[in-house]
């Protein structure tokens, strides 16, 4: 299985991804082997509010990279499929032009059916796609900041997709996304208000630049990457996120978007930040794994002693069991 995946065998990769999803014994050992002999993929995250056009842009970016002779892997994560009534079908339809292209591998993930959480499942798929030798991996996630999938911990570069007329949502962007955006795409630029959105974003960036005294990456207590800033923004090493207007449905601005990402990729190489991001990704992956393992261990022990979790929950609810004491005790024993 390891050799077949590394040779780029699509069926072996699809099977491995399914097995990982289903928790089939042995699949994690395969993943481990693959992890230790990685490929060379550049991982690009696309994130933004539901319906912003992330899948449409992803589709166009696939075409762009294929034209340049690069192989592409895609992970589309949708924890909120009610918005589209099933992202998996939607993504298939939107990206169907590439369904028969052997140079493209598309994998959709929904919340259900992923043992150990979406974050880990996403990172597993990225590992497999990388091992397959894909040149570029596009990871689409819905949501902004509060998402279960920490896209910044997974990708080398992150494109934040916004749309005209977001008003309040730009406020929301201010909170978390500014920190993770390497490139902004203002999609649906055929709609009114695109220039206004560009201006709003630009104002936020200007504000940030004027308050920042230092630039660089560190981790906050939530083990996310944050910019600590270690130098004057006007010195080399400061990355100013470009804002690109796009119309995904008409293939407008897509080359500019891809080129902005390419400039960021070059910046990462030049400044050594790519390595930093890979360390950040390793950190996030490891913590997610550890959390899973500890939780599994704790729940198994709990089941031995206290019975089914639902029964215990009922006892906690009617105050006949003490959740604080139980949690302390379990954690202590682990």
Contact residues for ligand GTP, defined by CB under 6 A: 50-56, 78, 83-84, 87, 90, 94, 142, 187-188, 190-191, 247-249
Q: Which is nearer to ligand GTP, 61 or 280 (CB)?
A: 61
Q: Which is nearer to ligand GTP, 143 or 241 (CB)?
A: 143
Q: Which does 249 bind (CB under 5 to 8 A by kind): Mg ion, ligand GTP, none?
A: ligand GTP
Q: Which is nearer to ligand GTP, 9 or 190 (CB)?
A: 190
Q: Which is nearer to ligand GTP, 179 or 190 (CB)?
A: 190
Q: Which does 114 bind (CB under 5 to 8 A by kind): Mg ion, ligand GTP, none?
A: none
Q: How far is the CB of 191 from ligand GTP (least distance, A)?
A: 6
Site for Mg ion in 292-331 (CB under 5 A): none
Distances (CA, A) of 265 to 34, 123, 195: 24, 20, 26
Q: Which does 53 bind (CB under 5 to 8 A by kind): Mg ion, ligand GTP, none?
A: ligand GTP
Task: Label each residue of the chain as H, E or C.
Answer: CHHHHHCCCHHHHHHHHHHHHHCCCCHHHHHHHHHHCCCCCEEEEEEECCCCCHHHHHHHHHHHHHHCCCCEEEEEEECCHHHCCCHHHHHHHHCHHHCCCCCEEEEEEECCCCCCCHHHHHHHHHHHHHHCCCCEEEEEEEECCCCCCCHHHCCCEEEEEECCCCCHHHHHHHHHHHHHCCEEEECCCCCCCHHHHHHHHHHHHHHHHHHCCCCCEEECCCCCEEECCCCCCCCCCCCCCCEEECEHHHCECHHHHHHHHHHHHHHHHHHCHHHHHHHHHHHHHHHHHHHHHHHHHHHHHHHHHHCCHHHHHHHHHCCCCCHHHHHHHHHHHC
Considering only 53-61, 286-294, 299-307, 312-320, which stretch makes contact with Mg ion by CB under 5 A? 53-61
Q: How far is the CB of 51 from ligand GTP (least distance, A)?
A: 4
Considering only 50-58, 208-216, 253-261, 263-271, which stretch makes contact with Mg ion by CB under 5 A? 50-58
Considering only 47-55, 108-116, 217-225, 292-300, which stretch makes contact with Mg ion by CB under 5 A? 47-55
Q: How far is the CB of 224 from ligand GTP (least distance, A)?
A: 22
Q: Which is nearer to ligand GTP, 51 or 297 (CB)?
A: 51
Q: Which is nearer to ligand GTP, 83 or 286 (CB)?
A: 83
**Which residue from 55, 122, 162, 187 is in contact with Mg ion, where contact means CB under 5 A?**
55
Q: Which does 83 bind (CB under 5 to 8 A by kind): Mg ion, ligand GTP, none?
A: ligand GTP
Q: Which is nearer to ligand GTP, 39 or 143 (CB)?
A: 143
Distances (CA, A) of 323 to 285, 294, 295, 318: 29, 17, 15, 11
Sites of contact with Mg ion (CB under 5 A): 54-55
């Amino acid at each position: 299985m390891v050799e077949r995946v590394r040779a780029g065998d699509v069926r072996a990769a699809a099977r491995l991804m399914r097995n990982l999803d289903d928790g089939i014994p042995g699949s994690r050992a395969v993943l481990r082997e693959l992890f230790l002999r990685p490929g060379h993929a550049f991982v690009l995250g696309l994130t933004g509010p539901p319906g912003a056009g992330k899948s449409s842009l992803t589709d166009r970016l696939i075409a762009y990279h294929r034209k340049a002779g690069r192989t592409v892997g895609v992970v589309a994560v949708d924890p909120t499929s009610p918005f589209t009534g099933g992202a998996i079908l939607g993504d298939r339809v939107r990206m169907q032009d590439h369904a028969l292209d052997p140079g493209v591998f598309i994998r959709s993930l929904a919340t259900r059916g992923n043992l150990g959480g979406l974050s880990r499942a996403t990172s597993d798929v990225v590992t497999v796609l990388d091992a397959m030798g894909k040149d570029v991996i596009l990871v689409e996630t819905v949501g902004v900041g509060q998402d279960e999938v920490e896209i910044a911990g997974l990708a080398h570069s992150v494109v934040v997709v916004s749309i005209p007329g977001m008003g309040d949502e730009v406020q929301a962007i201010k909170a978390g996304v500014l920190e993770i955006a390497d490139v902004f795409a203002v999609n649906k630029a055929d709609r009114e208000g695109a220039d206004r959105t560009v201006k709003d974003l630009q104002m936020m960036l200007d504000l940030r630049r004027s308050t920042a005294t230092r630039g660089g990456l560190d981790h906050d207590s939530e083990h996310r990457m944050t910019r600590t800033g270690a130098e004057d923004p006007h010195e080399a090493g400061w990355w100013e996120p470009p804002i690109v207007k796009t119309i995904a449905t008409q293939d407008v601005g897509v080359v500019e978007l891809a080129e902005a990402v390419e400039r960021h990729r070059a910046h990462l190489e030049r400044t050594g930040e790519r390595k930093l991001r890979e360390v950040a990704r390793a950190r996030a992956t490891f913590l997610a794994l550890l959390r899973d393992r500890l939780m599994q261990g704790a729940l198994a022990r709990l089941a031995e002693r206290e019975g089914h979790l639902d029964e215990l929950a009922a006892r906690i609810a009617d105050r006949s069991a003490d959740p604080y004491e139980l949690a302390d005790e379990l954690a202590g024993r682990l």
